[in-house]
Amino acid sequence: MAEAHQAVAFQFTITPEGIDLQLSHQALQQVYLSGLRSWKKRISRLKNNFITGVYPASPSSWLFVVIAILATMYTRSDPSMGLIAKIQEHLPVRYSICFLTVVSAVLFSTLLWLSLIFTMRLCLKQLLSYHKWMFEQRNKMSTTTKVWMALVRIFSGRQPLLYSYQGSLPNLPVPAIKDTVKRYLDSVRPLMSTAEFERMTTLAKEFEGGFGNKLNWYLKLKALWASNYVSDWWEEYIYLRGRGPIMVNSNYYGMDFVYVTPTPIQAARAGNALHAFLLYRRKLNKEDIKPWLLRSTVPSCSYQFERIFNTSRIPGIITDAVVHWQDSDYVAVHHRGRYFRLWLYQAGRLLSPREIEHQIQRILDDPSPPSPGEEKLGALTAGDRVPWAQARKEFFSSGVNKRSLDCIERAAFFVTLSDDEHVIMGDDPTPCLDRYAKALLHGKCYDRWFDKSFSLVVFKNGRHGLNAEHSWADAPVVAHMWEYVLATDCFQLGYNEEGHCKGDVNPSLSQPQRLKKSFSLSVAQALADDVDFHVITLRDFGKGRIKKLRVSPDAFIQIALQLAYYRDRGMFSLTYEASMTRLFREGRTETVRSCTSESCAFVKAFEDVCHRLFRMACDKHQNLYRMAMTGAGIDRHLFCLYVVSKYLGEESPFLKEVLSDPWRLSTSQTPFQQVELFDMVNHPEYITCGGGFGPVADDGYGVSYSIIGENIINFHISCKHSCPQTDSHKFGALIKKSLTDLDQMLSAEQKAARNEQNTGGNSTQAKKDL
């Protein structure tokens, strides 16, 4: 690759008369304004750090405490009980007594204020360690929980910034060994024969009574020292140390609106989207994003938001690294095998959507061909990590290649301008959605930069989507940003009658800079070709319908997945459902083992229409989900115990067997977090189809689903063509049938209950008449 020459602020020429210095005032102005913008960001960050540091108090409360102390002293009272006089004794005596008294009072007030902040934060941290509220229904809360919620609101302060609660969140607790082992055995009981379960019980008891306690002691020691005893090891060993391709295996995608494309002009759609992304980054830098509150009261951890932008995964021989830069004024753009640097700021000002559209159109109109080896350079990020690390060290460690690679990795994010079109049309849009999903997940394998925190893909007909790297954050964080971008694009920025971005173009905008070897992409291409994807969107069956059946929507869907899998394979499988642990500081996810004894018993008895078993299975699933959210899960604890055993150089037959179990059914729900940004009544077509991921096991399924509003559920189902036992379309049909069967079963149950109630009411009235 070769990089275009950079603009310079001055030139000089040595002549016989001396040095002829030629200053470029325009370039100097750009340097000045860019530096000014950087300093403004630093000052804003410093201010936000101070506000967050004193939360739940406010900076103005310091003045209130100072005035209160001084006013009390004016009445000849000493609220400090002699401490002000002690402070005064240590101050220089060359000033007047009155001045020294005021200074001492201000110092005492400041110490008192800081003590109050520490006490409030400690109280809030203790309050947030209470989790019984999650196991109670909203309309049946205990008196203890009501008092607790009132106290949380009192100690939470007002107008929190994004990171205001970080210092008040409790640490993730380390469960007791016996509790984790008991929950694990309960989860695998329906998956094993009697002999297998007895053998596993023996291994578990040996581990619990001996080696396990030693390992757990180390975890408790780490929990005292670290903010979270799981997250750093989870990021390193699950994500960054994986040596296989991250494309399909780790990265995931997010879709555009399904039933409408706001404009068919590719450059215009990219212009609005890029501008919306930078508006979101501005809000992020100002911490002007509301923390996510459960039940409008309980805060969740926001630390994952820190690395959304200006972040890239860097390959290594043994392990990768996630590198984050403080700022970036440009994005890296790929079009027809060529790479460009597109500046998004001019004179410290964010370009308007119309100006960005103009710059994107310049790239689209550029007729230059790719340089030798440039076209398929992105395939390096799609293949195995070790060859990519070796190539990086050999070919990109110095010179112009290194500078060009730095340009891509330091970009705010990556943009792909695709020549493909994806039109969702016809009575059955499913085949179009399937192709669209595969295009977002892997594309051509070389037209993405899979190492970037996220990549925006804009297709020729104006439809776009997102591909995100998984190690730095989980899907809900990316989904929050994506919801904002979609809503801002259509409902705030909009387009003119011709479909272009609104506004005018500054004619002084400089051209996007062209960044100018080939490597085999056979591994990545084979992986992409093996992915079988199927997308289902249900518009007449959603959360509203399920709630009328008095069942948790997530539990309903998970039981339906168990029923569908049993109908597909004639057996049960260890099932993974991701649950968030963001109620704790730096929390990420925990596993909900959705295949339980209760769900298996219901599925087996389904033909006998056993309603009681269904309710028991749903209750068990809800309880497991809540336990996972409150730090009482199974798999993250066992994973950390395994890491400690490796550090100690000791083997545990129990842990080795536990962590070797394959997840043949891996599921995840992506929450729809910002409903207020969309008008689902007047504009129901402006709704995203969610996103998906590749299968975790070669002989299994990956199922992502999103529950949107009251009437929509979307499923993204993946598996591999190379496995003869899996078929995404067949499994999708079984999911739809299972949902319908469960709905009919519960509807019939409710109808029978109403009839029985009416019959009982009529009998009672007849008795009264007699």
How far from 428 is each of 424, 706, 736, CA to CA, in Å? 9, 20, 15
Strands 701-708 and 691-693: unpaired
Token pair 């180390």: residue: 218
Structure tokens at 255: 């879709």
- Is residue 18 classed exposed, middle or buried when 0-12, 13-18 and 19+ CB atoms within 10 A define those classes? exposed
Alpha helices in 336-384 (DSSP H): 353-365, 379-382
Contact 366, 517 (CB under 8 A): no
Strands (E), 413-562: 414-417, 454-458, 464-468, 513-515, 531-538
Axis crossing angle, helix 177-188 with helix 194-209, rounded to the nearest 10: 170
* Residue 335 to residue 527: CA distance in whole angstroms: 23
* Residue 16 to residue 666: CA distance in whole angstroms: 75
Sign of torsion over alpha carbons 227, 230, 233, 236: negative
* Residue 284 to residue 445: CA distance in whole angstroms: 31
CA R_g for the chain: 30
End-to-end CA distance of the chain: 96
Determine the residue type at 415: V
Alpha helices in 530-594 (DSSP H): 543-548, 553-569
Q: Please tell me which residue in 275, 422, 470, 534 is annotated as part of the active site.
A: 470
CA atoms within 13 A on the CB side of 412: 20
Residue 59 backbone dihedrals phi, psi, to 5 degrees: -55, -35
How far from 60 is each of 39, 109, 110, 113, 116, CA to CA, in Å? 25, 13, 12, 11, 14
246 contact partners, CB below 8 Å, separation of at least 6? 313, 381, 382, 385, 450, 451, 469, 470
C-alpha dihedral (175, 179, 182, 186), degrees to nearest 10: -70
Residue 422 is a catalytic residue: no
Structure tokens at 760: 């009982």
Residue 23 backbone dihedrals phi, psi, to 5 degrees: -90, 140
- Is residue 429 classed exposed, middle or buried when 0-12, 13-18 and 19+ CB atoms within 10 A define those classes? middle
Strands 575-580 and 311-314: unpaired
Residue 507: CB atoms within 10 A of its CB come to 6
* Residue 754 to residue 765: CA distance in whole angstroms: 16
Structure tokens at 680: 């689902």
Contact 311, 412 (CB under 8 A): no
Task: Write out the catalytic residue numbers.
Answer: 470
